[in-house]
Structure 1
Amino acid sequence: MATRQEVIFKLGGEEYGLDIMKVYGIEKYHQVTKIPNTPEYIEGIINLRGEVHPIYNLRKKFKMPEKPIDDETKMIIVNSNEMMIGFIVDAVIEIRHIEEENIKPAPRLISGIDRRYITGVAKIDDRMVILLDVDLILEEEEKKEMSQVLEENA
């Protein structure tokens, strides 16, 4: 049976998954340097191991209510179309193999999140996990804008 390995994380009351092949690392929350004139869901940039990475707040991106940063808050660093970016999430739960037969297409109605970002919904034990496509979370225009910001701050 074919399986996928996913990093499962919590955001709001839901669980989401990212393909582990796109994940560069999972970090404790770091204070970010704010960048003026960027969309509100871009928290800023961090310097991680000598590299500057933009940091996105997925709660803001998905139009969820804000939550204070706490000890569970993590940054998932991913490779999205050759750009390393970080996503702030409420908590990382586990890294899990998911059998393809347990992954179903996304239903038409999923509140709060654009269906274009979703590759499917996985059943893990008695839980449902929404699987996201790292490369589609950022719009092309956002990627261009962020590349320009990174060049200016390099």
Structure 2
Amino acid sequence: MPENQLVVFRLGDEEYGIDILAVKEIIRYRKTVKLPDCPDFLDGIINYRDSIVPILDLNRRFKLGGKEAGDATRVIIAGIGGPEGRPVGFMVDRVEEVLRLDEGCIEETPETVAKGMDRQYIKGVGKLQDRLIIILDIEKVLSDSEKAHLQEISG
């Protein structure tokens, strides 16, 4: 059975995962440069390997409430448009692990899981023993117009 490798992280009390193939690097959170007239989920920008990278606060994006960054806060640098795509940072409360999950353990998103969160962001839900992992589709976390706006910001 095919396997998925996921980077599993926390937002609040819930576990989320994204496909490891989209991930370029996981870094410690560092202070960002704030920009005027930007969506509230855009934490700011950082200089990452000589590129300007926008950092999105996933707690705010998914309307889970804003949280101050702590020692465990990480930024998952991922490529939008594939691994070689434009780098975008996703600010998360904590990275848990890299997990292998059989395709058969992933189910469609039940209505109750997506409550308060736009279902378009979710690929499915991984079930592993007593855990539920919400698997995100990072390509859909941003709309086309938001991607274009971030492209303008980061040059």
TM class by smaller structure: over 0.9
Q: State the one-letter code of the partner of 2:44.
A: G
Distance 1:124 1:95 in 2: 13
Q: Tell whether 2:28 aligns with 1:28.
A: yes
Q: Tell whether 2:133 aligns with 1:129.
A: yes
Superposed, 1:54-69 pairs within 5 Å as 54-69=54-69
Distance 1:108 1:126 in 2: 19
Report Cα offsets for 1:59-90 as digits up to 9, x if no partner.
11011122221111000001111221001000
Report Cα offsets for 1:13-70 as digits up to 9, x if no partner.
1000000000011000011011111101001110012111000000110111222211
Q: Tell whether 2:110 aligns with 1:107.
A: yes
How big is the alpha-carbon RMSD for the aligned residues of Structure 1 and Structure 2?
Answer: 0.9
Structure 1 match to 2:91: 88
Distance 2:130 2:111 in 1: 21
Structure 2 match to 1:12: 12
Q: Where does structure 2 lack aligned partners over 5 or more consecutive residues?
A: none
Aligned residues, how many? 151
Give runs of ≥4 in structure 1 deviating > 2 Å: none
Equivalent position SS for 1:30 = coil
User: Shift in Å at residue 94 of structure 1?
Assistant: 0.3
Q: Tell whether 2:152 aligns with 1:148.
A: yes
Distance 2:24 2:52 in 1: 14
TM-score by length of 2: 0.94
Q: State the one-letter code of the partner of 1:97.
A: R
Between the two proteins, what is the percent identity of the paired residues?
Answer: 38
Report Cα offsets for 1:91-135 as digits up to 9, x if no partner.
000001000110001112322211001110001221000000010
Q: State the one-letter code of the partner of 2:102.
A: E
